[in-house]
Structure 1
Amino acid sequence: MTNVLVTGMLPVFGRSLEPGFNVFDVMHHGFHEKQISNVSRWLLEADGSHRLGGTFMKILIDEVNSQKTGGEPLPDSGYWGRHEVNTAAVDEPTDIADLVLESDATVPVVENYFTSDGHAHSYDGYLAYGLRPTRRA
């Protein structure tokens, strides 16, 4: 597929007229957290093989900035991403975040589930991980 074709099709994926449309259903990819994290991390790579540059990172960071109260907006580029990252402090039980985006100054930490799925996900732990010295989360 050419970039023009893919770029033209992407907006359609995001606004189907059918209720309950989900591009992961079409891909038969599944709903397991790790699968979603893998696809998300790939889409967030500006130099990913999808050849869409930083489009998805910009969309995510724009959404974060629209929900954020106070402070400077987060930059919408310059991050490198990892998935399934242990964010727990030393001597604490494992606490896996689905996605961690890092730059020299900012660390957004993403959990795919709105609420904990019973695996000890901790908002406070994610925040502490992101706020390590000289960074904001």
Structure 2
Amino acid sequence: MAWYWQSLIGLAIAIGVIWLVLVAALLIAKPDRARLGEALRLLPDLLRLLRRLAADPALPRGVRVRLALLLAYLAIPIDLIPDFIPVLGYADDAIIVVAVLRSTVRRAGLDAVRAHWPGTEEGFTAVCRLAGLR
């Protein structure tokens, strides 16, 4: 077998294993419906926040690239876990958004996120609580 076929098969197996690990992590973490509902109500403000942060030239380039990749992932209809699977279908998107938001706060600071927040103060407090930020 040619080396490129072996490489493609190895890559496909690695992607499959990573996907299975992410599915297992989601099944273990399984967010409760109250938190998931709160996250869905904040979705429009979160999308505006992510777009504003990705367009801010004052932020480090790595943060902006991460945010742009997140927005592209959210726009693409193909997900890690299909949306027709109850609870977990939307939870993968929420978990990825939370992970990128935490990473953004670590690199850019909570003040940068607060400056770009388009919603209410209660909404920002809810986002901080959902993302585990202080």
Scaled by the length of structure 2, the TM-score of the pair is: 0.28
Higher normalized helix content (fraction of residues)? 2
Q: Which one has the largest radius of gyration?
A: 2
Of structures 1 and 2, the one scoring higher in RCO (CA 8 A, sep 6+) is 2
Higher normalized strand content (fraction of residues)? 1
Scaled by the length of structure 1, the TM-score of the pair is: 0.27
